[in-house]
Structures are given as structure tokens and as C-alpha cells.
Structure 1
């Protein structure tokens, strides 16, 4: 019985490692593509027992959003997706509480991403 429990725990741990690595690989590919588009700001929110949110925005030379991504969730199945609503918007027009009116974690992550250096 103990051997079975240890075996199941090891298999679950190895599965978590493999799926976590797959998630990091997908995020890194999406993030690399975003970095090719312009200056990038990244923000992360969430805690140990809350879903984490990562927001990254790319600004062109005119400080307009040319691309973005968001990844949220508590599991290894969270995937980076685009935030279509902000494409083409000026950096000054981005208001996290308007873009994500009912999601404080996304608001926090976007606020942090907007603090990227200009110049």
C-alpha cells in the first residue's frame, strides 16, 4: 500500500514537472514573439493561493499597443492569449479598471505592465 502511494506521488510529481515545463515553453515562445514587436512591459499579480495573472504589452515607437498577451490561472493548463481590446490604443489611454472592470488581479497586472520605461 505504501509503495503504491509513493509510486502515485512520484508519477504525479513527474507529470507536474513535464506539464509545467510545457507551459513555460509556450509562454516563452509567445513572449519572444512579443519582444520582437516593440518595447515590452510585464506585470504579474496573484498570490500563493490565488490565480496568477501575467500581462505583457508591447508598444511601438509611437507608444501605441502593437501586441499583448495575458496568461491567467492556477494550473499548468493556463495559456497565453492576446488582449484584442487594447491593440492600437495609446499608452495614455490604457486604464486597467476600464479594460478589466470586474477582475482586480488583471487590473493589478496591467498596472504593473504599464510602468515600463519610455524613451
Structure 2
């Protein structure tokens, strides 16, 4: 019985490592594509038992959002997504509490992403 539990724990741990690596690879590919679009600001929020949020915003030469990346979740199954309604918005018009009125984690991540140097 003990060896079966150890085997299950080892399989779960190896699965976590493999899926975590896959998630990081997916994020890195999306982030690399975002960096090709313009200057990028990145913000991260979340805690140990709350869904973590990573938000990246790319700005063009006119300081408008040209692309975005949002990854949120607790598990290794979280995938990068776009925030299409931000594309084309000027940097000074971005207000985290208006864009994400009911999501403090996304508000915090966007605020941090906007603090990048001009």
C-alpha cells in the first residue's frame, strides 16, 4: 500500500513538472511574439491561494496599445489570452479600475504594467 502511494505521488510530481514546463513554454512563445510588437510593460499580481495574474501590454510608437497578453489561474492549465478591447487605446486613457471593475488582481497587474519607463 505504501509503495502504491509513493508511486502515485511520484507520477503526480512528474506530471506537474511536465505540465508546468509546457505552460512556461506556451507563455514564453506568446511573450516573445508580444515583444516583437513594441515596448512591453509587465505586471504580476496574486498570492499563494488566489489566482495569479500576469498581464503584459505592448505599446507602439504613438503610445497606443498594439497587443496584450493575460494569463490568469491557479493550475498549470492556465493559458495566455489577449485582451482585445484594449488594442488601440492610448496609454494615458488606460484606467485599471475602469477596465477591470470587479477584478482587483487584474487591476493591480495592469497598474504595474503601466509603470514601465517611457
Provide the alpha-carbon RMSD of the alignment: 0.4
Segments of structure 1 that go 5 or more residues without pairing to the other structure are none
How far the C-alpha of 1:53 sits from its partner, in A, is 0.2
Segments of structure 2 that go 5 or more residues without pairing to the other structure are none
Residues in 1 aligned to 2:79 and 2:97: alpha-carbon distance in whole angstroms: 23
TM-score between both structures, scaled by the size of structure 2: 0.99
Runs of 4+ off more than 4 Å: none
1:35-114 aligned within 5 A: 35-114=35-114
Residues in 2 aligned to 1:44 and 1:12: alpha-carbon distance in whole angstroms: 27
TM-score between both structures, scaled by the size of structure 1: 0.98
Counterpart of 1:27? 27
Residues in 1 aligned to 2:86 and 2:94: alpha-carbon distance in whole angstroms: 8
